[in-house]
């Protein structure tokens, strides 16, 4: 059920009902010839073209571990302690900040396009505003001041619109969604 304010705050307030919107939600998807367990795994793996790095991220037991492995080597020690980059003396790709939004768009679309059960749930959010109400995430969420750009929520709303458009075409609606094996 959509909250009365027509806003889904899926990181905190409405997490129980809307966790499927999270990048940490288990939703296997096939991208670039590999099956990724979550959007977070795929997203973090794109920080480098090094095959050993990508394999380490894909094999991470949990999305939180994938995120820690992908930490910037220059981040404070508490954050970068588990960084694959720090341990291997390497750097993430130089254009990461320019590329990350399109990478997330691609991953989120694949997540919902390849997992019909959660695509149905996303479409059921109607026109509700989707908000990552994370106070510690100033780019993807609303950040500590509550006024961050909410790119995670905005991308999810773009994906919802794209799915809705593809379902509006009779031919698209009759074709089964692909699902990784």
Q: pLDDT tens, 71-124?
A: 999 999 999 999 999 999 999 999 999 999 999 999 999 999 999 999 999 999
Same-domain pairing of 113 and 176: yes
| Domain count along the chain | 2
Res 177 pLDDT > 90:
no
Asked whether the beta carbons of 44 and 70 are under 8 A apart, the reply is yes
Q: What is the pTM of this model?
A: 0.91
Same-domain pairing of 75 and 121: no
SS3 162: helix
Same-domain pairing of 56 and 1: no
Same-domain pairing of 163 and 101: yes
Same-domain pairing of 42 and 74: no
Res 172 pLDDT > 50:
no
Same-domain pairing of 118 and 132: yes
Same-domain pairing of 108 and 146: yes
pLDDT on residue 176: 40
Q: 145 is in which domain, residue-wise?
A: 1-46+95-181
Same-domain pairing of 128 and 159: yes
Res 33 pLDDT > 50:
yes
Same-domain pairing of 32 and 51: no
* Domain at 100, CATH number: 1.10.357.40
Same-domain pairing of 51 and 39: no
The last residue of one of the domains, among 92, 119, 151, is 92
pLDDT on residue 181: 43
* Residue 170 CA, distance from chain mean position: 28
Same-domain pairing of 75 and 120: no
Count of C-beta atoms within a 10 Å radius of residue 119:
21
pLDDT, averaged across the chain:
93
Same-domain pairing of 40 and 102: yes
Q: How far apart (Å, rounded) are the C-alpha atoms in residues 86 and 61?
A: 20
């Amino acid at each position: 059920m959509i909250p009365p304010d027509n806003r889904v705050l899926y990181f905190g307030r409405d997490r129980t009902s809307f966790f499927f919107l999270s990048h940490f939600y288990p939703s296997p998807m096939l991208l670039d010839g590999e099956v990724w367990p979550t959007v977070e795994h795929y997203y973090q793996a794109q920080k480098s073209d090094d095959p050993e790095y990508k394999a380490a991220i894909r094999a991470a037991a949990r999305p939180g571990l994938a995120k820690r492995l992908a930490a910037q080597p220059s981040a404070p020690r508490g954050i970068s302690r588990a960084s694959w980059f720090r341990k291997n003396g390497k750097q993430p790709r130089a254009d990461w900040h320019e590329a990350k939004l399109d990478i997330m768009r691609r991953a989120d679309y694949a997540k919902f396009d390849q997992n019909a059960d959660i695509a149905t749930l996303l479409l059921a959010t109607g026109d509700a505003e989707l908000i990552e109400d994370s106070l510690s995430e100033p780019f993807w969420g609303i950040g500590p001041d509550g006024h961050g750009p909410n790119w995670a929520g905005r991308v999810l709303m773009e994906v919802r619109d794209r799915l809705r458009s593809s379902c509006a075409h009779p031919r698209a609606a009759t074709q089964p969604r692909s699902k990784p094996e």
